[in-house]
A and B are shown apart, each in its own frame.
Chain A
Amino acid sequence: MNSLILLMLLPMLGALLIGVLPKANETLTKQIALATTVIVAIVTIAIAVGFQRDNVDLQYVQSYSWIPSFGINFAVGIDGLALVLILMSTVLAPIVVLGGWNESHGGRWSVKTFYVLILVLETMMIGVFAATDVFLFYVIFEAMLIPVYFLIGGYGTGQRSAAAVKFLIYSLFGGLLMLASIIGLYVMSGAQGGHTFDLAALSHLQMSSTTQNLLFLGFFIAFAIKAPLWPLHTWLPDAADSATPGTSILLLGVLDKVGTFGMIRYCLTLFPEASKTFTPMILVLALISIVYGAFLAIGQRDLKRLIAFTSISHFGFITMGIFVMTSQGQSGATLYMFNHGFSTAALFLVGGWMISRRGSSTIADFGGLQRVTPIMAWSFFLAGMSSLALPGMSSFVSEFLVLVGTFTRYPVHAVIATFGIVLAALYILIPVQKALHGPTTEGNENLSDLNLREKIAIAPVIAIIIALGFYPSPLLKVINPASAHVIAQMGFTDPAPTNGDK
């Protein structure tokens, strides 16, 4: 069997197994969920090892006819970009299960339902990146909203149902615009040699520039809502605020990446001309996101909302890297997606533990944690440093690449974006100082430090962050050929580096 199909089936099998187990045995449920996600992660790593890095064609390709009368196939295959994101998703999944061992208890429904939803979501996360049929991609893109909706609304805190609805309505709206564009592509493919949804075939369609612009917008708005780009971001802080930390990791770390992934895979590939037309506008939106997200993050008093706004800023960087149309920018953006997944995971994991111990998510309620709970404090510190892209952390490499890639073509943009880094220092260092340093705030004296399970959960995240900070080349070797291929397909060559000595 094709490894990708196997990879998608495994979480489903786990979900089925959990489904037939009795409700009462919660520990066994969690153990099965953990075992499943670990196995999936191992299989993914095996796939990554077998991946031919210099080959820019799709690999592990498999296609089954699904709805022949519309030319729809169940077709999967991965390139470097998809591989990196699938790797990130499947490595994060066991960390989420282990790190959020007890977060399914406060929910409306049983523990069993929680893990079934998580595992179903994992299948879809793999599928959404692996799909090479536009229709299949759309189906998974929309269907994965449902488990996330129930995860936020059923297991979150605070205004969870309102947040879940806001998330769903936003996403559905974007999805329906994309559906209109997909219908347009389908009809045009029918007029130009037979109905198909095959991504490669669709990228050769002839269309007028007006059509291309309109169809591009349908896709782009859907992805900009997902990513989320200013001004379509307003659902994210509410969702992140209400969801459990584990759900937030999957939501911000993985699901939002579908947006930026889609920009590369669908917007750039299918509509190269329209992408060039809209680039100036999109870059401005990306810059606004970087600066606006950073400013709002500085102003947040709530830990979860703070992380959400930092992500908006980071997604601005990723979007900018994608649309500057240089191979460094493209590679940087892809690497950024991967790194952002782990630094957000670290922040949400440790933040989640702090919040559940203290019973409050207000930053001011913490203080002096360094003294009471040194390991937790250090973990949070490292997570924060990764988020502000300190050299030596993995996110530094990607942020640097994006800025370099931007500067060669859009120097002014790069300069403005650099302010985002300065602001990042503020929005991370202020809460770090407030929460970790200084005198211990009243009520915090008896907080317990991380237990063994939590240490096991956070250790690989921090290890990846630091290891890739010093030695990013294993990933870059996978990413670079894919990025260069995208840029070459678009008809761009990298501008020669400007020499400062002249």
Chain B
Amino acid sequence: MDFAAPVLNYSLLSPILILLAGALIGVLVEAFVSKALRPITQLSITLGSLVLSLVQVWRIRNEGSTTAAMGSVIVDGPAVLLQASILIISIISVFLIADTEQFTALAAALPGSDEERHALQSGNQVTEVYPLTLFAVSGMLLFPISSDLITLFVALEMLSLPLYLMAGLSRRRRLASQESALKYFLLGAFSSAFFLFGAAFLYGYSSSITFAGIHDAVNGAAGNDVFLLIGIAFLSIGLLFKVGAVPFHAWSPDVYQGAPTPVTAFMAAATKVAAFGAMLRIFYTAFANAQWSWTPVLSLIAIITMLFGSLVAITQRDVKRMLAYSSIAHAGFLLSGVIALNKAGLDASIFYLFAYGVATVGGFAIVTLVRDSAGEVTDLNRWKGLGKRSPWVATSFAVFLLAFAGIPLTSGFIGKFSIFSAAYESGAKGVVIAGVLSSAIAAFFYIRVIVLMFFTDPVEDGTSVEIPSSLTQITVAVSLIVTVALGVFPAPLLNFITDHAIFIR
């Protein structure tokens, strides 16, 4: 029997390989480097590999190839843009993860046990979080470039498993954190099963697992349409779960609230880019000509997601839960970019993902700063008068909220405008109208937080604002600059996206 050695284009795969190497070195560091040196070593390795990977992505920006890994991945313009977004978002999130106050001392210890107390007293830190982050990021980089269903599934698990662990690492309120991790894991596993089920049907329909093969089968109308429909439906459930669209959103408020805030920031921003990236590729390339079968359902889901997210967010009293529901609403807005199914929709989605991701990390970075003696304060009532106590922190948060609300001169507005106009252009007027209405609803609760911060008097209850560490300052500053710059001068990035974002099959 002949065995053909796989031909890999290492330079095109290097962004992922660099991260995997960094993660493996990180694991070795856990074993061999002394406790005192571990945090700084891990942080430098993580940042180093992320930056190196980003440099590599930049170097391959003009290359396109379907054969980088034996037809399992496609490197093209959208791939490069999405990978770069994920890496930039990850870099600014890592600065937050470096804040040790957020993480438990010993992940394996039972909450409240002697062991845990001992670990806390001895000044332990869970530096494992760094290699876990790198593993997750490498999965995220693979997700949007996968071009067959098996690779897509592997990437999905690769990015999810480390996240399940990271969600359970919170130092405070450990039970809630562990519960959120378990919830995320169980529901995630469940959705993976749906995903696989769908993949099996698609294979049955097209007798191919590659996107190109499915595309040809759809064009040839050779297979049984029922298989195609079931396949698309179940595969979409798996993907919609990851992006937190209604009715597959149930995990996200709990997980956002329970997970350590830096992990929430990373997860909320980067996972969304990766998952929508994969979704865009599969719907734009594999299912494009079966548009009639999925657009109506996806439009309905988008409309429900927008309205549900915005409406329920109004009732939230916890800032992290509020941001979770706001991210559900944004998932709805982003779905309208998938539905648009045109070049403008692709460009707009990529811009939106980047702008939203950066603002999200910035927003959660602010959440990590508001604390009392027992850790973070996420009850919105205790954010009253923040504008008086620390005007800069409150102003920054207000800018991020305005960006989420899509107020002009922030990146959120350009994103919303471009994604809605793409959807309108494709004829999805109902989605645009629902989007505009839910934006109006959403504006209400973003503004309410601004009112709390600026127009209510502070209550003396020990809530204070931590002086941001220089790393957190970098995160906030970068997010702030990007959010405003993309609102005022979006042209360079938009042009770059327009020139590069072309899927190849």
Of B11-19, B56-64, B418-426, the one with at least 4 CB within 8 A of chain A: B418-426
Q: How far is the CB of A198 from chain B (nearest CB, A)?
A: 16
A177 touches B425 (CB 8 A): no
B455 touches A169 (CB 8 A): no
Chain B 478-505 interface mask (CB, 8 Å, partner A; 1/0): 0000000000001100110010000000
Chain A 168-186 interface mask (CB, 8 Å, partner B; 1/0): 1100110011011001101
B454 at the interface (CB under 8 A from A): yes
A492 at the interface (CB under 8 A from B): no
Q: With contacts A108-B387, A154-B454 known, what are 15 further pairs, Cβ within 8 A? A: A65-B491, A67-B414, A108-B388, A108-B455, A139-B408, A146-B402, A150-B454, A153-B451, A165-B451, A168-B443, A176-B439, A183-B424, A186-B421, A187-B421, A190-B425
Residues of A within 8 A of B421 (CB): 70, 183, 186-187
B33 at the interface (CB under 8 A from A): no
Chain B 431-459 interface mask (CB, 8 Å, partner A; 1/0): 01100110110011001100100111000
Select from chain A the residue with minimum beta-carbon distance to B452: A161
A142 touches B454 (CB 8 A): no
B424 touches A143 (CB 8 A): no
Given contacts A143-B409, A165-B447, A186-B421, whether A68 and B491 have CB atoms under 8 Å apart is yes
Mostly, the A contact residues are helix
A263 at the interface (CB under 8 A from B): no
B69 at the interface (CB under 8 A from A): no
Residues of A within 8 A of B490 (CB): 67
A180 touches B491 (CB 8 A): no
B407 interface neighbour in A66, A67, A70, A142, Cβ under 8 Å: A142
C-alpha spacing A69/B498, complex, angstroms? 8
B447 touches A173 (CB 8 A): no
A101 at the interface (CB under 8 A from B): no
B408 touches A66 (CB 8 A): no
A169 interface neighbour in B433, B444, B495, Cβ under 8 Å: B444
Contact residues of B between 57 and 84, Cβ < 8 Å to A: none
A142 touches B491 (CB 8 A): no
Q: How far is the CB of A441 from chain B (nearest CB, A)?
A: 34
B455 touches A161 (CB 8 A): yes
A138 at the interface (CB under 8 A from B): yes
Residues of A within 8 A of B413 (CB): 139, 142
B443 touches A169 (CB 8 A): yes
B153 at the interface (CB under 8 A from A): no
Interface size on B, residues (CB 8 A): 35
A176 touches B407 (CB 8 A): no
B491 interface neighbour in A69, A143, A186, Cβ under 8 Å: A69
C-alpha spacing A138/B407, complex, angstroms? 10
B227 at the interface (CB under 8 A from A): no
Contact residues of B between 383 and 436, Cβ < 8 Å to A: 387-388, 402, 405, 407-409, 413-414, 417-418, 420-421, 424-425, 432-433, 436
18 A-B pairs in the complex with CB atoms less than 8 angstroms apart: A65-B491, A66-B491, A67-B414, A67-B490, A69-B491, A139-B409, A139-B413, A142-B413, A153-B454, A161-B455, A161-B456, A164-B451, A168-B443, A173-B443, A176-B436, A183-B420, A184-B424, A187-B425
B436 touches A177 (CB 8 A): yes
Residues of B within 8 A of A165 (CB): 447-448, 451
Q: How far is the CB of A21 from chain B (nearest CB, A)?
A: 17
Given contacts A153-B451, A165-B447, whether A69 and B432 have CB atoms under 8 Å apart is no
Select from chain B the residue with minimum beta-carbon distance to A218: B436
B408 touches A142 (CB 8 A): yes
Interface size on A, residues (CB 8 A): 33
Contact residues of A between 181 and 216, Cβ < 8 Å to B: 183-184, 186-187, 190
Q: How far is the CB of A124 from chain B (nearest CB, A)?
A: 10
A304 at the interface (CB under 8 A from B): no
Q: Which residues of A contact B (CB under 8 A)?
A: 65-70, 108, 138-140, 142-143, 146, 150, 153-154, 160-161, 164-165, 168-169, 172-173, 176-177, 179-180, 183-184, 186-187, 190
Given contacts A69-B491, A69-B498, A142-B407, whether A179 and B436 have CB atoms under 8 Å apart is yes
Residues of B within 8 A of A68 (CB): 491, 495
B455 touches A153 (CB 8 A): yes
C-alpha spacing A179/B405, complex, angstroms? 13
Q: How far is the CB of B344 from chain A (nearest CB, A)?
A: 9
C-alpha spacing A169/B447, complex, angstroms? 8
Residues of B within 8 A of A169 (CB): 443-444, 447
Residues of A within 8 A of B407 (CB): 142-143, 146
Select from chain A the residue with minimum beta-carbon distance to B385: A108
Residues of B within 8 A of A153 (CB): 451, 454-455
Q: How far is the CB of A185 from chain B (nearest CB, A)?
A: 10
B424 touches A187 (CB 8 A): yes
Residues of A within 8 A of B440 (CB): 172-173, 176
C-alpha spacing A172/B407, complex, angstroms? 9
Contact residues of B between 254 and 300, Cβ < 8 Å to A: none
Residues of B within 8 A of A177 (CB): 436
C-alpha spacing A160/B454, complex, angstroms? 12
C-alpha spacing A172/B439, complex, angstroms? 9
C-alpha spacing A224/B168, complex, angstroms? 52
Contact residues of B between 449 and 482, Cβ < 8 Å to A: 451, 454-456
B443 touches A160 (CB 8 A): no
Sorted nearest first, the 9 A-B pairs with minimum C-beta distance are A161-B455, A139-B408, A69-B494, A180-B436, A142-B408, A183-B421, A173-B440, A187-B425, A176-B436
Q: How far is the CB of B337 from chain A (nearest CB, A)?
A: 14
Q: How far is the CB of B322 from chain A (nearest CB, A)?
A: 17
B408 touches A143 (CB 8 A): yes
A138 interface neighbour in B402, B405, B408, Cβ under 8 Å: B408
Select from chain A the residue with minimum beta-carbon distance to B437: A176
Most buried by A among B388, B432, B456, B498: B432
Residues of A within 8 A of B456 (CB): 161
A67 touches B443 (CB 8 A): no
Residues of B within 8 A of A65 (CB): 491
A108 touches B408 (CB 8 A): no
Residues of B within 8 A of A142 (CB): 407-408, 413
A172 touches B443 (CB 8 A): yes
B432 touches A180 (CB 8 A): yes
Residues of A within 8 A of B448 (CB): 165
A183 touches B432 (CB 8 A): yes
Residues of B within 8 A of A180 (CB): 420, 432-433, 436
A168 touches B432 (CB 8 A): no
C-alpha spacing A150/B394, complex, angstroms? 14
Most buried by B among A146, A150, A172: A172
Q: How far is the CB of B503 from chain A (nearest CB, A)?
A: 18
Residues of A within 8 A of B417 (CB): 70, 179, 183
Select from chain B the residue with minimum beta-carbon distance to A66: B491
Q: How far is the CB of B405 from chain A (nearest CB, A)?
A: 8
C-alpha spacing A176/B433, complex, angstroms? 10
Residues of B within 8 A of A172 (CB): 405, 440, 443, 447
C-alpha spacing A140/B408, complex, angstroms? 8
Select from chain A the residue with minimum beta-carbon distance to B433: A180
Given contacts A143-B409, A183-B421, A183-B432, whether A70 and B454 have CB atoms under 8 Å apart is no
Contact residues of B between 300 and 332, Cβ < 8 Å to A: none
Residues of B within 8 A of A160 (CB): 455
A161 touches B451 (CB 8 A): yes
Select from chain A the residue with minimum beta-carbon distance to B418: A70
Q: How far is the CB of B420 from chain A (nearest CB, A)?
A: 5
Q: How far is the CB of B431 from chain A (nearest CB, A)?
A: 11
Residues of A within 8 A of B418 (CB): 70
Q: How far is the CB of A296 from chain B (nearest CB, A)?
A: 27
Residues of A within 8 A of B347 (CB): 69
Residues of B within 8 A of A164 (CB): 451, 455
C-alpha spacing A140/B407, complex, angstroms? 10
B454 interface neighbour in A108, A138, A168, A187, Cβ under 8 Å: A108
Given contacts A142-B408, A165-B451, whether A70 and B433 have CB atoms under 8 Å apart is no
Select from chain B the residue with minimum beta-carbon distance to A195: B421
Q: How far is the CB of B347 from chain A (nearest CB, A)?
A: 8
Q: How far is the CB of A95 from chain B (nearest CB, A)?
A: 28
Select from chain A the residue with minimum beta-carbon distance to B408: A139
